[in-house]
Amino acid sequence: MSHQDSQHTRLGRTGLSVSRLCLGTVNFGGRVEEPEARRLLDHALARGVDFVDTANMYGWRVHKGFTEELLGRWLGESPSRRDAVVLATKVGNPMGGGPNDSGLCARHVIAACDASLRRLRTDWIDLYQMHRMDPGVAWDEVWQAMETLTAQGKIRYVGASNFSGWGLASAQEAARARGFTGLASEQCLYNLLVRQPELEILPAAVAYGLGALVWSPLHGGLLGGALRKLAAGTAVKSAQGRAQSALAAHRAAVAAFEELCEDVGRPPAEIATAWILSRPGVTSAVIGPRTPEHVDGALRALASPLDADVLARLDDLFPPVGRGGPAPDAWLG
């Protein structure tokens, strides 16, 4: 498919076409076993979701690197599969206990890339993302490592993940001074409950021509009908982690949200995903499905945008920070 179809768009200012839904793999290994993961990957790819996001440390419930190994086995099953997929992974989080087994020093970045390539059974990574900022390493060192990997043909584009707005700006200005392309994207936590990226991160991404990839669009399942699932005893993701800790603070809003979804006649996960896909500057929603039906629901969200009335009601339930919009106007009187 070309970047011009309704399921695809360009990654920021680059020429790379990516699907507006990105298959996140953080659940693979421990929550989604390998046979189910393969079915999910096949199902998504057959329906045009050709953007796959992972990280070198994913699969830690089994062992760090397991998810990349799983993807490598899947990619290796078909000679044409690698060419059909836009593959993203990440570097920076600890992979071992040694002093150079984490972070963004040149030694770790280059060694970690080689290790990811081996696990993924591929010659190149389409989008190599820094999993988080590393204030202890100068940008010149980071960019020299990324330039080396690009020149070697091991990576095509560089991305950021969990950066601040000023972090994106400092990274880009350092890259510009070197005559390097720098970042293609930023991946951030963003959903109806977490609207802080609207203040600085998304405006910085738009200003620098970066694609914005959004992780946890359902806030760990809290926006996926959590209250009804908990009442019915069917909650899985929404009974754990981020969703569980946020539920106490947001129970009233989540209850009203589920009522709104009932009124509109669409599942909560669809509405939350459709909302994130409607947001200015958002390139792709990184979904974390556990079943093919979850993928299909996200595709319905993409195919059926929300109308203005529903968007306004969602703003009332989950108001933006301050007066809304970018900083500093969001909080200036």
CA distance 291 to 306: 24
Among residues 315, 13, 26, the alpha carbon closest in space to that of 161 is found at 26
**Tokens representing residue 16 in the block:** 């790379």
Owner of token pair 């809290």: 222
Among residues 171, 204, 66, 183, the alpha carbon closest in space to that of 128 is found at 183
Amino acid at 42: D
Owner of token pair 């392309």: 181
Q: DSSP letters of 187-227?
A: EEE-BTTB-GGGTTHHHHHHHTT-EEEEE-TTTTTTTTTHH
- Strand bridging mode 17-19 / 8-10: antiparallel
Query: Catalytic one among 58, 128, 157, 190?
Result: 58
Please report the sign of the dihedral spanned by the C-alpha atoms of residue 113, residue 91, residue 186, residue 292.
positive
Residue 147: other Cβ atoms inside 10 A: 16
Q: Where are the beta strands (DSSP E) in the chain?
A: 8-10, 17-19, 21-24, 51-53, 86-91, 125-130, 155-161, 183-189, 211-215, 282-287
58 included as an active-site residue? yes
**Tokens representing residue 125 in the block:** 């990574």
Active-site residue set: 58
